[in-house]
């Protein structure tokens, strides 16, 4: 998670065993496939105030 502005960077390993970066912004949702959870990035930052 970013602390200066809303955003999440997620690294996942692909089928070739290479790590691939995905970036998510405030209007995106993030799917954590290994645990079957989808969460909106806005929900992660719900009580955070940016200056």
Q: Say what the pLDDT of residue 3 is.
A: 66
Q: Please give the model's pTM, rounded to 2 decimal places.
A: 0.75
Q: Say what the pLDDT of residue 5 is.
A: 79
% of the chain with per-residue pLDDT over 90: 63
| Whole-number average pLDDT of the chain | 89
**Residue 31 confidence class, pLDDT cut points 50, 70, 90:** very high
13 forms bridges with which residues in the sheet? 19
Q: What does the pLDDT look like over 34-51, one tens digit per residue? A: 899 999 999 998 888 877
2-10 CB contacts, 8 Å cutoff, 24+ apart: 4/50, 5/50, 6/41, 6/42, 6/44, 6/45, 6/48, 6/50, 7/41, 8/41, 8/44
């Amino acid at each position: 998670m970013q602390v200066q502005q809303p955003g999440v960077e997620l690294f996942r390993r692909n089928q070739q065993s290479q790590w691939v970066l995905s970036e998510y912004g405030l209007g995106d949702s993030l799917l954590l496939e290994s645990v079957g959870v989808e969460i909106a990035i806005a929900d992660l930052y719900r009580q955070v105030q940016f200056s």
